Structure 1
């Protein structure tokens, strides 16, 4: 199957998660492409979509939300998965699972949402971002669990494989 992995990422950490998902899907026989949400003009060429976003101030980035809204009707016609990546060091922390994702899952009939820990490098942040991080007591470092990303991507590949064999 041809899979679009579209990721909104400000500093690259979340995009690396999306790239890892695409890599795992390709290793399992799917044709996966990673694109920024704002660069996608059409999803007609894709059989499935994975949408990811970094989480800032408990919200998805605007480009990811706008992508889902722009293609809502088309997303209803294909399998879709969502993921978030944020500062919370516990992957299932509420801060990495914005309330808006529940509404989005329902609106586009997504197969689910997975929250992953993020990556924090204060050196790449601007002054306002550093102030927010200080107030939130964000912990410096890479809190992404790439083995969890791999497992999740493999689950997606398995589900896509089942859909291919039943189609």
Structure 2
């Protein structure tokens, strides 16, 4: 009998689009992970939900070039733990200027340093009617393109990729997944 292991999917989102990606990741992961895995979709209000997880998928919408405060706080909380496998994802903004898209992503450093397995960037959803004037000004400044730029096939593909990696990782003594 396989040990029961858990994966937590959590994300920060101001207008809901990034949380919808986290929901989709959690749903797909729950469908495709091998028997013995439990998927928990959590918000970031209580970081203790990350404690004891064997794997974590953590994401954030990008605002003003940075992860949202709650996601950055969660990242700080988990980055030194090294007790589980960590995948990161970011959403938006989608800019007409490709170099600006690359400049806003800081989570890549955690992958380079070995603190996270992978950082994936997904297109976001930008509905300018839901933005306050400061957010609209920032979106204009970075040439963000209004509309829904989320690619659900890409989200599902990444979830399957994570599941494949977790499916071949043997359990550590005590139930945690090996890195």
TM bucket normalised to smaller? 0.7 to 0.9
Contact 2:79 2:115 in 1 (8 A): no
Paired with 2:95 and 2:157, the residues of 1 have a C-alpha distance of 19
Match of 1:149 in 2: 155
- TM-align CA RMSD: 2.3
Give how far 1:98 is off.
3.2
Seen in structure 2, the aligned counterparts of structure 1 residues 142 and 100 have a Cα distance that, compared at 3 Å, is same
Give how far 1:80 is off.
0.6
Give how far 1:61 is off.
1.1
Match of 1:50 in 2: 57
Structure 1 gaps of 5+ residues are: none
TM-score, normalisation: structure 2: 0.81
Q: Provide the aligned length of Structure 1 versus Structure 2.
A: 165
Check if 1:32 corresponds to 2:39: yes
Please list, as runs of the form range in 1=range in 2, the aligned pairs for 1:1-167 lying within 5 A after superposition: 1-29=5-33, 30-74=37-81, 76-88=82-94, 95=101, 98-106=104-112, 109-164=115-170
Deviations 1:108-159 (A, max 9, x none): 6211100011101111111111121222232221001110010000000011
Paired with 1:6 and 1:104, the residues of 2 have a C-alpha distance of 17
Structure 2 gaps of 5+ residues are: 173-177
Give how far 1:165 is off.
7.2
Paired with 2:114 and 2:139, the residues of 1 have a C-alpha distance of 32
Match of 2:175 in 1: none
TM-score, normalisation: structure 1: 0.87
